[in-house]
A and B are shown apart, each in its own frame.
Chain A
Amino acid sequence: MQRYLFLLMLWAPLSLAAIDAYEFRTPVDEIRFQELTAELRCPKCQNQNIADSDAPIAKDLRREVYRLINAGAADSEIVDFMVTRYGEFVLYRPVVNSHTWFLWYGPYLVLGVGALVILMIVYLRKANRRARPDAKKTELTAEERARLDALLEKDNKG
């Protein structure tokens, strides 16, 4: 029974389309509203933005965003407004600071490491083959190499 209640809690907010019929002064404002509400997280829900959530708090927060846009606030001011009250938890785009440095730049680091690894693999292979004198066993003769190239040509052509 408890599990059923839990599941109900999990699923119930999801089911309604959260549509507010707000009127905006300019189409740009409407787009700003859509983008901001997509990037702000509903504090109560199971991982939804306030644009899609049907929870009362999400409705309230959408109303606030609408009010602030109409009052002329900039996007950054609206974001600050939310963070002051609900903390960084409500930002789906994490702030870039010392805590999140690895989050934002880590993948590029890994990309760089990957590139280095590729270069190392290629050059080490060549170096190994040149360095080992008993590599004669694995070395191909000129004739064998020509045959290999011909076979590979066939492979390349499918």
Chain B
Amino acid sequence: MRKLLLFIPLALFLGMGFFLWKGLYLDPREIPSALVDRPMPAFELPSLTEPERNLTVADLTGEVALVNVWATWCPTCKEEHSFLNQLAQQGVTIYGINYKDEPVKATAWLQRYLNPYREVILDQEGRLGLDMGVYGAPETYVIDAEGTIRYRHVGAVDANVWKQLQAVIEQVEGAGA
């Protein structure tokens, strides 16, 4: 009996070792969105292109779409922008949230690098971003036709990420149909 007890430390260590091994392939800094399967937070913010007009969640409903949080001070946003332009040309609906930025800079930036967004929400103070749990640009959300958040990706969107997003979109559309 005592002999068996003596194997406990080894067993415990092997158990811990297994989790450490699994941990090597996880990213401790990746946080899932707390708002998955919850509605987009309510907001009323001006549009970048038509400043007298206020946008709300209603303007984002109707179909499954992407919501991209970006800013001119964010270098990674520039990297992903050309890919977003491609997606827009393919017919993907993308809404933009201009996060903690200056409208003049943002307009110039979009003129220079093209505008893939159906609408651009001006979130100068970052309130909408905060309500959505944004912690660093760029972030891209998938929302369904009712405006419920279904998925979030933190970081640039490229071909690989797009595959993941597509899978989510298909799943959402399938469930909705």
Contacts and interface: CB of A to CB of B under 8 A. Distances in A.
Contacts, number: 32
Given A56-B100, A60-B130, A87 B34 contact: yes
B136 interface: yes
Interface in A120-148: none
Measured as residues with beta carbon below 8 angstroms from the partner, the interface class of chain B is 10 to 19
Contacts of A85: 34-35, 130-133
A43 B31 contact: yes
Contacts of B51: none
Interface string B18-62: 000000000001011111000000000000000000000000000
A57 interface: yes
Contacts of A92: none
Interface in B130-172: 130-136
Contacts of B32: 87
Contacts of B33: 87
B152 to A, nearest CB: 11
Nearest to A87: B34
Given A86-B31, A86-B34, A86-B133, 19 more contacts: A43-B31, A43-B135, A44-B135, A57-B134, A57-B135, A57-B136, A60-B126, A60-B130, A61-B130, A64-B130, A83-B34, A84-B34, A85-B34, A85-B35, A85-B131, A85-B133, A86-B135, A87-B33, A87-B133
Interface of B: 29, 31-35, 100, 126, 130-136
